[in-house]
Amino acid sequence: MNADQFIEFLQPHFPDAFIQAANEGNKFDVRVVDASFEGKRPVQRQQAVLGLANQLISDGTIHALNIQALTPAEWEAKQG
C-alpha cells in the first residue's frame, strides 16, 4: 500500500475531509482535517482513524502509523 491508496481507503469514512498521507515503506504519516473532530479530544480523533486502520496494522500492511487529526479551524491556524 502506498500513501495514495491509504488516502483512498480513508476518504469514504471522512467524505468531506482533507487528507494527506506519506509513507516510507509500511510506515505512514497521515493528516486528516475534518469538521467531525469538533468537540472531540485528540485521543478520540486518533481513535477514529486508528479504528479504520486496525486491520491494515494487524495484517502487516502498515507497520507504524502517525496520525494528525485536526479540525478545519486548527488546520487554518497552523497554516497562518
Residue corresponding to grid cell 467524505: 15
**Structure-block grid coordinates of residue 71:** 479540525
Domain hosting 57: range is 3-15+24-79
Cβ atoms of residues 45 and 33 within 8 Å: no
Q: What is the rounded distance in angstroms from the CA atom of residue 16 to the CA atom of residue 32?
A: 10
> CA dist 71 to 40, 60, 79, Å?
9, 29, 13
Domain total in the chain? 1
pLDDT greater than 80 at residue 80: no
Regarding pTM above 0.85, the answer is yes
**pLDDT, tens only, 17-49:** 999 999 999 999 999 999 999 999 999 999 999
Looking up residue 54, the CATH number of its domain turns out to be 3.30.300.90
